[in-house]
Chain A
Amino acid sequence: MLLCICFGTLLIILSGLWSNLVFSSRFGSFTLTNVLEYFQIFILTTSLILSYIITYSAIEADSPSLLIVREVADAGPNGLKEEKLKAELNKDFLIEPRLRDLIVDKMVYVHGDKYRLTSKGFLIAKIFVLSRKLLNAPKGG
């Protein structure tokens, strides 16, 4: 949904730029400079929208690291016991909502009692597998 809104906005901006370009060409003020300037605006707008999307996704899902820091801070000057922290951040909270997100985003589907990748999920997984391979980095997570 968010992607639709953001790319919809980008399309509106682009169609505005395009109509301005067509208008300029009709009245003889169309030059290569127009095209270059519009392309620069296009790259800037796309970067802004991509940044917003990526920030939104970071805000939407709770980061376990930030939650740990908040839990420790909330414990105050007496500190927080490790056992209590583990009990607070249990497996239901850490894994299952993320699995549900993957199903909602159509990256994973349920087949019997198993979770499997859709073609979209496969493509995204492959991009990350390749990037981690390029970096020679472990699985992460």
Chain B
Amino acid sequence: MCPVPIEIVTPILGLIINAFVHTFTFRYMKSIRLLKSVFIGFGAGLFSIVLIEIGVWYEISDVSKIDILFILITNMITYSLLGYCYFHFINLGETARRIRILRELYEHKEGLSTSEILERYNAKEILENRMNRLVNKGQIYLKDGRYYIGNRTMLLIANMIYILKRIILGNRAQMQRN
């Protein structure tokens, strides 16, 4: 396999296009929600990678189809991994408690005590944000003052994460409540 220079940077170009399209759609198309805009951005980046590879195929006639195919597969895997990292980066900003605490401290250069942090960001707010998200997405539903499981996707993810935790962290995988 002999990649041409443009093919080497294709996954990074795809990631830049992904970030640009995601930012644009989320910022300016109010009807599109965050997760959907992330998927649109990812799709746009993937499409651009395929387009670049088709362009190389047309421009450089002495490259074999098998080479092009393998480079395309490698680039798609690399781009998917970078897209996965980008998705987590966006998700961290949206949901991570650590990032929210960092943001609160960033806005108060003189520092904040535990009680001041809890005034600005507390368990009630954390729970409300998450309950609203879960109810809006149909993962759980409220009936007569009690919550029940709705769509089982989130439960499946929770169980998968728990198994991964047991495999990677071993005994430390007990639900860490302290």
Contacts and interface: CB of A to CB of B under 8 A. Distances in A.
Interface of A: 33, 36-37, 39-40, 43-44, 47-48, 50-51, 54-56, 58-70, 72-73, 75, 77-82, 85-86, 89-99, 101-102, 107-108, 111-117, 121-122, 124-126, 128-129, 131-132, 134-137, 139-141
Nearest to A56: B168
B112 A139 contact: no
Contacts of B47: none
Contacts of A69: 134, 139-140, 149, 154-155, 158
Contact of B113 (A91, A114, A136): A114
A91 B2 contact: no
Contacts of B178: 92-93, 97
Contact of A67 (B8, B129, B175): B175
Contacts of B175: 62, 67
Q: Which of A55, A112, A115, A140 has the most CB of B within 10 A?
A: A140
B113 A33 contact: no
Nearest to A33: B2
Interface residues of B, number: 83
A95 B113 contact: no
12 contacts: A37-B2, A48-B81, A67-B175, A70-B162, A72-B149, A75-B147, A79-B148, A86-B123, A98-B101, A114-B111, A115-B111, A135-B93
Interface residues of A: mostly helix, strand, loop or mixed? helix
Interface residues of B: mostly helix, strand, loop or mixed? helix
Interface string B94-124: 1111111111011001111110111001111
Nearest to B116: A114
Given A40-B3, A64-B126, A137-B94, 15 more contacts: A33-B3, A44-B74, A44-B77, A47-B78, A47-B85, A56-B168, A64-B97, A64-B130, A69-B139, A79-B148, A85-B147, A98-B101, A117-B105, A121-B105, A135-B90
